[in-house]
Amino acid sequence: MPSRQQILDFITRSDQPAGKREIARAFALHGHDKIALKALLKDMADEGLIDSAPGRAFHKMGGVPKVTVLRIVDIEGDQPVAVPERWEADGKPPPRIRVVERGKRSALGVGDRILARTEEKGAGWLAHPMKKLARGEELILGVVEEQEGRLWLRAVDKRERRDTQISDVGPARPGDLVLAEKTGRPPRITAKVTEVLGDPFAPRAFSLIAIHKFGIPDRFKEETLEEADDIATQALGAREDLRHLPIVAIDPADARDHDDAVWATADEDPANPGGWRAIVAIADVSFYVRPGSQLDREARKRGNSVYFPDRVVPMLPERLSADVCSLKEGQDRAAMVCHLVIDRAGKILAQRFTRAVIRVAANIAYEDAQARIDAGAGALVEEALKPLWACWRALAAARDKREPLDLDLPERRVVLDETGRIESIAIRERLDAHRLIEDYMIAANVAAAKALEAKKAPVMYRVHEPPSREKLVALKDYLDTFDISFALGQVVRPATFNQLIKRLDANDEATRALVMEQMLRSQTQAYYAPVNAGHFGLALGSYAHFTSPIRRYADLVVHRALVGAYALEPEARATRLSEEDAAAMVRLGETISQAERRAMEAERETIDRYVAAFLATRIGEVLDTRITGVQSFGFFATVAGFGGDGLVPVSTLGAERFRYDEASQTLEGEESGDTYARGQLLPLRLVEANPVSGALRFELPEGVNHMPMRHDRPRKDRRIVGKRGRPANVRHQGRRR
């Protein structure tokens, strides 16, 4: 057993939170030694040497240092009440600390942060403010840089165009990625470094930047991990036995978890000639994650898993997400199963839900599944894949008849080598295998929503509302620049957009991609809510997410609702939707919708950083780009095949002045007639690629000629832009928007 001092030394030197697991691993403890370690750590916490949370040594006062940062959470009477901003105590709520202000009546409000001296007073705590700090949203994530003997903070957010001088660098050094708080008042704003995060160019650092910037919870408390370990050993209990069926899981080659598997066979019922029976088996996460448990609270806080090229930040501990809940080949797994009866036209005739035990016959990558079905030989192909494909053709026919929104936009894929360095960036290939799984998942999601509606049970719908009139007006103006008519008076359906796409030249890939992107921008943001408003994009009246409970909390809610509605509760185990959650579905939907948007932004920004890092070795090269946006100060372009937007400032386009046409989103030179417009293919020289912010900057290479574009209709909202990008002689023509 290590001594108390050895444990303290390990915690102090560890570059990550050191909990019971990490300490046991560091000192090679097993079996009964781990039990003894747990007792020793408890004694050390009781003695005030450490707190019971992993990774932090506290003062003897139960985890509240004598000087610490507090956050105001309430005002009782006239007295602010605060909690420690950092509180990782294992299993204990943060103490509520009364803030004593002298001569500063109502100076502090909820959300304020203070540096305070604390003292224990009777059964409670008092705090004496020493300094008011910047609010949390004013923290800057950036890189320390040295310029002419001064230290500056370059923000990782590409929207921050100015560096901030550092007034207190602490232990940070030039090149470090740090968190800092703004201090001072305009125009003398400076930065004080509060935390050093490490090397921003190290492998896996780009996702770390996003994790810190967006406040994504990426570590589980020790008690949560222990609960996952305990619950993972629970017996599966009485279930429908489907282990004899050749159920397969088809996922990306780099999938971190497997939460869905499928099976199909011809329906032998004479009442359904040419029809099919299908199974969509989903990991039975609700069996392991009980409402109100520590696992449940942590999952709700995260809302969903976040997927980066170099790591996944899971919604559930890996003991569940990557192990007992993951549908692995040859392993008995608990599943929530959607049984479907499908007619020859792809219509769902019946559905039912059961809790089952399954044994996946194979985990197959999309590419491998496609190759096998194309080759058409092998036992797995005959037993599993051919029936799946045959049933899918019926589902696909029903989808085509429904005419959902069909925007086939490319998706970037970052491939890393074993060291975490970028190997390649490419567009993901779109295969029939992808469409097959999508259609089975959509069928199961629709079945879940309709099954809950039939029982008048709570439903967490996936809602996608039709585009607003304002966005349709903007789309019409944009399509006018391509001489594509779009009537505003019609009833807009997904098929309306599909018909517009069909009118485009099939050989003009650049224009097709541009118009589809603009159509995507005209759509509303999908969200979760208990009130049904349909799913416009999928052309469905009722839709809920049921198929990914390992990585989405919304799906877990739907599973629990099904458990309650169809009496699938196991004995002596609460797994149904709680009354409290059923009553708070509106708020819960808002919470997980916000978490989803946070994850999407973090994932997108991380991809941009990887793209910038990949292109940083090609500074000075002339690259093929496409203009993606035009403003009065310049235009944005993306590198063909890679993505990542970069700016071309209007000041670099030459000495002449440029007219900005807001309606057509173009810049046109007054003298040369050179015109820059969205969708235009253009060779540009890469002059800067900042991997930390993900920003690119381009300039026109010498000798590039630009053919003026024809404008046969009057321009609206045009402004003339000077060579420095500042609006000059602003004139408005036509109606203003």
**Closest Cα to residue 44, out of 88, 3, 91?**
3
Q: Is the pLDDT score of 303 beyond 60?
A: yes
Most confident of 8-17, 116-125, 279-288, 519-528: 279-288
Phi-psi region of 28 (alpha: psi -120 to 50; beta: other; left: phi over 0): left
Question: 173 to each of 143, 145, 194, 202, 514, how far by Cα in Å?
Answer: 9, 8, 13, 15, 44
Encoded tokens for 214 = 């967006």
Q: Is the pLDDT score of 151 beyond 90?
A: yes
pLDDT per position as a tens digit, 659-677: 998 877 789 998 888 889 8
Other Cβ atoms less than 10 A from the Cβ of 232: the count is: 14
Please state, rounded to an integer, the average pLDDT across all residues of the chain: 84
Residue type, 627: I
- Is 279 buried (19+), middle (13-18) or exposed (0-12) by CB count in 10 A? buried
Phi and psi torsions of 124, nearest 5°: -130, -165
**Closest Cα to residue 427, out of 441, 445, 407, 413?**
413
Q: Is the pLDDT score of 450 beyond 80?
A: yes
Q: What is the mean pLDDT of residues 516-525?
A: 88
| Weakest mean pLDDT among 13-22, 250-259, 547-556 | 13-22
* Alpha carbon distance 513, 494 (integer Å): 17
| Weakest mean pLDDT among 108-117, 264-273, 423-432, 702-711 | 702-711
Phi and psi torsions of 264, nearest 5°: -150, 155
Encoded tokens for 614 = 């990949």
* Alpha carbon distance 281, 441 (integer Å): 10
Would the pTM count as exceeding 0.95? no
Question: 184 to each of 25, 72, 138, 190, 196, how far by Cα in Å?
Answer: 45, 21, 12, 6, 21
DSSP-assigned letters across all residues of 141-162? EEEEEEETTEEEEEESSTT--S
* Alpha carbon distance 380, 361 (integer Å): 8
In this structure, are residues 114 and 108 in contact, taking their beta carbons and an 8 Å threshold? yes
Encoded tokens for 431 = 């295969």
pLDDT tier at 51 (50, 70, 90 boundaries)? low
Most confident of 257-266, 424-433, 507-516, 595-604: 257-266
The H or E element that residue 644 is part of is strand 643-649
Angle at Cα 260 formed by Cα 259 and Cα 266, nearest 5°? 165
The per-residue pLDDT for 572 is 60
Encoded tokens for 695 = 């920003």
Buried b (16+ CB within 10 A) or exposed e, 462-500: bbbebbeeebbebbebbbebbeeebeeeeebebebbeeb
* Alpha carbon distance 242, 334 (integer Å): 10
In this structure, are residues 557 and 569 in contact, taking their beta carbons and an 8 Å threshold? no
Q: Where are the beta strands (DSSP E) in 319-360?
A: 332-342, 348-359
Q: What is the mean pLDDT of residues 127-154?
A: 82
User: Look-up: residue for tokens 């199974």?
Assistant: 279
Handedness of CA 323, 324, 328, 332 (dihedral sign): positive
The per-residue pLDDT for 417 is 81
Q: What is the mean pLDDT of residues 650-656?
A: 86
Q: Which residues contact 528 (CB under 8 A, 6 or more apart)?
A: 460, 461, 462, 463, 545, 554, 588, 589, 590, 592, 593, 596
Phi and psi torsions of 11, nearest 5°: -65, -40
Q: Is the pLDDT score of 173 beyond 80?
A: yes
pLDDT tier at 15 (50, 70, 90 boundaries)? low
| Total number of residues shown for the chain | 737
Phi and psi torsions of 668, nearest 5°: -130, 130
pLDDT tier at 548 (50, 70, 90 boundaries)? very high
pLDDT per position as a tens digit, 362-418: 999 999 999 999 998 889 999 999 999 999 999 999 999 999 999 877 777 888 887
**Closest Cα to residue 315, out of 335, 334, 295, 344?**
295
Residue 588's SS3 state is helix
Q: How crowded is the C-beta side of 718, counted as CA atoms within 13 Å?
A: 17
Encoded tokens for 551 = 């990585």
Other Cβ atoms less than 10 A from the Cβ of 669: the count is: 17
Q: Is the pLDDT score of 530 beyond 90?
A: yes
* Alpha carbon distance 101, 79 (integer Å): 8
Residue 140's SS3 state is strand
pLDDT per position as a tens digit, 317-333: 999 999 999 999 999 99
Q: Which residues contact 617 (CB under 8 A, 6 or more apart)?
A: none
Residue type, 463: V
Q: What is the mean pLDDT of residues 543-548?
A: 97
* Alpha carbon distance 27, 14 (integer Å): 13
Question: 273 to each of 1, 21, 137, 268, how far by Cα in Å?
Answer: 70, 58, 62, 8
Is the bond preceding residue 2 a cis peptide, omega within 30 degrees? no
Q: What is the mean pLDDT of residues 693-702?
A: 89
Q: Is the pLDDT score of 64 beyond 80?
A: no
